[in-house]
A and B are shown apart, each in its own frame.
Chain A
Amino acid sequence: MKADTLVIPQETEALISGCEAIAQACKLADVDVITGYPIRPYDTVMQAIAKLISNGEFDAEYIIAESEHSQFEIVKHASAVGARVFAGSSGVGWFYAMEALAVTAGLRMPVVAIVGNRALDDPGAFGVEHNDALAVRDLGWMLTWVDTAQEALDTALMAWRLAEDRRVLLPIAIGMDGAYLTHSQVLVKVPSQGMVEQFLPPYDRAELQLHPDNPITVAPQVNEDWLIEIRKQSDEAMKRAKSIIPDVYADFHRTFGRGESPWFEEYMMEDAEIALLGQGTIAMPVKVAVRQLRAQGQKVGLVRLKWLRPFPTEELRAVLSKVKAVGVIDRDYSFGSPFHAGVLATEMRSALYSLEKRPYVVSFIAGLGGREVTAENVIEMSNMTMNVAASGKADTETHWIGVRG
């Protein structure tokens, strides 16, 4: 067969939400075992998957667990026997699964999960905050945030490929801002099954697969004489993931024509004097504001971080060493942390510290609990960051944006 006769079926366009896009990704990746337990805003995924299965479009073991803890234990075990798996949760539901989440990473199970980001109780609230997903950032979970339904679908497909790579075998949590992304329907290109099959090989756990023909013990108790070596193995796996992610994106780009930049999206950063940095849907108002500011001649750009774990330290340093100041917008908090900053600002200070020519980090907390971050809010943050750049003096305060008072 000649290459030019190879017919690749076209993508179709669908008007779907972020959660529905994830359901489509599950179908396209031919996920074997899916577990669910309802909690907003993640649970739209459950409904979408249930619909696909009941319509006969998708065949999977779909288990409604009796709690999030069981939900994640079930996919962990299914992963051990060689099933491709998916689960997800939100807010305190994700926390209820915490023991299972820790062992999933420890056991190197390539579980792909979404976290429909939601403020932690109390007070009960449905809006986005990133502290729920952030709880696994030190455990060996890979952690990424997406900002559109398209990116949700694309990232999920890449997530199975990356997580199930024998060199990696680490779980991935995909952060999706509650409401803004989970519940809003937009136009999404849904690739054909054939395209996905070209990109995503079957999951093969090889000699680690729990099977009667391969008698192994998984997760024995150990003493102090083994534990640190096991942690070092996870550390090495995460480092390998760091080196493999660009390959996965490149391959994805070759197949689907999207997703060229693995670590972060740069917006109007070419000649920027200051940068604003954030994760998830906050990029939308920031882009609007950046355009307005550029029209006024202000050299401001956006870096939308995609991967928090593994953290693209060198890549960020390369971009941010060119600016005078970076305003970090945290949709999270880390009470009592250095400078009472958010998680992202603290990480950025750590990543930039050893640079000889480093930008000032200006720390903002905004949009908690789903509070809208407006273009006006962004302009306020940009101005403050510009002022720090101009003053030549470090700003150690953390600025809460849009808070009454």
Chain B
Amino acid sequence: MSTVTVEVVYRGIFQKNLAQRIGRGIILAARKEGKVGISFGRYGDSPERNGVPAKQFAIVADDELELQISMARYEPTVADITIAVDDTLCKGVESWAWYGTQPINKLLHEGGLLVVTSIHSPDTLLQWIHRQPYEYDIAIVKGPASFSGLWVYKEDHTEVRVLGTLARVAPQLFGLKALEQAIMQEWNDNLKVVSAQKAFDRAVPRRVSTDEGNPAAVEEYEKPKYWEMQDAIVVKGIPVGKGFRGEEGGFQPERNPYFKKYTTRTMRPVVDFDKCVKCTLCWLQCPDSCFDVTPEHLYDANMEACCGCGVCEAVCPVENCITMVNETAFADNTSQYEMWKQDAQVYQGWVQEKIATAKTSEHRGHGFHHRGQYADEIAALQKEEDA
């Protein structure tokens, strides 16, 4: 008797096809070894929204009877393997399907496996991945996050590279031979088989110890009892905001304390306050009211509320005043305004460094207006590798 539960954590819409392909690939490859399985999306994630973290599950069992334990469920409570197909998900995930932010490794257990697609090393990712009281393995599938639209998949072989990695580091699911057969059955593509083989050859798991990882506490949310809930399906409106940080002057809107949105973000706006002309456009256009208005009428993007859509950068009339920077360049959600207030000069250095990062680091669309095709990215990566 053995069941292997795999969760694929992905970004809604942009990676739905990718996650479904990984789920199907796992079941089909395991089938080649005589096992059975089920692949399903976390139903509460539907309808998906751009970039909002979502989950796909693939569960493999020895036989139909054993599989029944894992059927007719929305979400398993324990996963043997978690796959994050975007490394910014390592900061935690919050979806429509549950309340509060979950660590990426929440469902893992001792000896479990975390697979992340990333251009970064495990050490870098472990700055964000929440600390666990048990040891587990992490394996990197080297590459940028693969984003595309709802109905399409960008043929960058990410799905088979993840599957090839699994064949190596999770042989209890399936071996490379079975995977090759499954790839030919599902996609009939020899090149994909080669990609899977290369990923198999390169996969190296690394043990994560109990003193590694982000020690920050996870937000907990306890749902009310039915008699504690407001009846008649009524939800009270969020109150009107108050002054900046609750003080006189400025304005800070009240926000939903239970749904923060920031785990949707793959890029964040960096604001050069010294360049700001106080035109208010970012504040007006932000679809999530994420800008806090400071007493001197600067606009501080609140990183708990920002989902990284990039509208502020698009509407800002001043060059390099608001710049969208890859979320991987930041360790926390500290207020940029407070950093600037503390020391404008130090802040200026920080801003310039982040903007430089944006221009040189992994190119990623922030999804909402994703441009650029795989060919461009390959060329850029090739250039990077040559250098």
Which A residues have a C-beta under 8 Å from some C-beta of B?
106-108, 169, 207-208, 215-220, 222-226, 229-230, 232-233, 236-237
Set of chain B residues within 8 Å of A207, measured between Cβ atoms: 230, 234
B194 to chain A: closest CB distance in Å?
42
Docked pose: A274 CA to B39 CA in angstroms:
59
A231 to chain B: closest CB distance in Å?
9
A286 to chain B: closest CB distance in Å?
40
Give 19 A-B pairs besides A216-B237, A224-B74, A233-B227 with Cβ atoms closer than 8 angstroms: A108-B231, A169-B231, A169-B232, A207-B230, A207-B234, A208-B232, A215-B236, A217-B235, A217-B236, A217-B237, A218-B234, A219-B233, A224-B43, A225-B98, A229-B225, A229-B229, A233-B229, A236-B226, A236-B227
Q: Can you give 26 contacting A-B residue pairs, CB < 8 Å?
A: A106-B233, A108-B231, A108-B233, A207-B230, A207-B234, A208-B231, A208-B234, A216-B234, A216-B235, A216-B236, A217-B236, A217-B237, A224-B43, A224-B44, A224-B74, A225-B99, A226-B223, A229-B224, A229-B225, A229-B229, A230-B226, A230-B229, A232-B226, A233-B231, A236-B227, A237-B231
Task: Check if B311 is an interface residue, CB within 8 A of chain A.
Answer: no
Q: Scan residues 212-247 of chain B and give those whose CB is less than 8 A from a CB of chain A.
A: 223-227, 229-237
Is the CB–CB distance between A107 and B232 below 8 Å? yes
Docked pose: A215 CA to B238 CA in angstroms:
8
Give the A-B contact count at a CB cut-off of 8 A. Answer: 58
Is the CB–CB distance between A220 and B232 below 8 Å? no
Interface residue tally for chain B (C-beta within 8 Å): 21
Docked pose: A217 CA to B236 CA in angstroms:
6
Is the CB–CB distance between A223 and B233 below 8 Å? no
Task: Check if B97 is an interface residue, CB within 8 A of chain A.
Answer: yes
Mark contacts of B19-44 with chain A using CB atoms, 8 A cut-off: 1 yes-contact digit, 0 otherwise: 00000000000000000000000011
Closest to B235 in A: A217
A85 to chain B: closest CB distance in Å?
15
B interface majority secondary structure: loop
Docked pose: A224 CA to B43 CA in angstroms:
9
A223 to chain B: closest CB distance in Å?
4
Task: Check if B350 is an interface residue, CB within 8 A of chain A.
Answer: no
Is the CB–CB distance between A223 and B44 below 8 Å? yes
Is the CB–CB distance between B97 and A223 below 8 Å? yes
Docked pose: A85 CA to B46 CA in angstroms:
36
> Which of B43, B98, B229, B233 lies in contact with A107, CB distance below 8 A?
B233
Is the CB–CB distance between A218 and B233 below 8 Å? yes
Is the CB–CB distance between B226 and A233 below 8 Å? yes
Which B residues have a C-beta under 8 Å from some C-beta of A?
43-44, 74, 96-99, 223-227, 229-237
Set of chain A residues within 8 Å of B74, measured between Cβ atoms: 224
Is the CB–CB distance between A230 and B237 below 8 Å? no
Closest to A234 in B: B231
Is the CB–CB distance between B233 and A230 below 8 Å? yes
A73 to chain B: closest CB distance in Å?
16
Set of chain A residues within 8 Å of B230, measured between Cβ atoms: 207
Docked pose: A226 CA to B44 CA in angstroms:
11
Docked pose: A106 CA to B234 CA in angstroms:
11
Docked pose: A218 CA to B230 CA in angstroms:
11
Set of chain B residues within 8 Å of A229, measured between Cβ atoms: 224-226, 229
A354 to chain B: closest CB distance in Å?
26
A139 to chain B: closest CB distance in Å?
14
Is the CB–CB distance between A217 and B44 below 8 Å? no
Docked pose: A229 CA to B232 CA in angstroms:
11
Set of chain A residues within 8 Å of B231, measured between Cβ atoms: 108, 169, 208, 233, 237
B53 to chain A: closest CB distance in Å?
15
B229 to chain A: closest CB distance in Å?
6
Is the CB–CB distance between A217 and B234 below 8 Å? yes
Is the CB–CB distance between B226 and A225 below 8 Å? no
Closest to B232 in A: A108
Set of chain A residues within 8 Å of B233, measured between Cβ atoms: 106-108, 218-220, 222, 230
With A225-B223, A232-B226, A233-B226 as contacts: A220 and B235 at CB distance below 8 Å: yes
Closest to B98 in A: A225
Set of chain B residues within 8 Å of A237, measured between Cβ atoms: 231
> Which of A215, A216, A223, A232 lies in contact with B96, CB distance below 8 A?
A223
Set of chain B residues within 8 Å of A223, measured between Cβ atoms: 44, 96-97
Set of chain B residues within 8 Å of A108, measured between Cβ atoms: 231-233
Closest to B74 in A: A224
Closest to B238 in A: A215
A204 to chain B: closest CB distance in Å?
13
Set of chain B residues within 8 Å of A218, measured between Cβ atoms: 232-234
Set of chain A residues within 8 Å of B43, measured between Cβ atoms: 224
Set of chain A residues within 8 Å of B234, measured between Cβ atoms: 207-208, 216-218
Docked pose: A237 CA to B232 CA in angstroms:
10
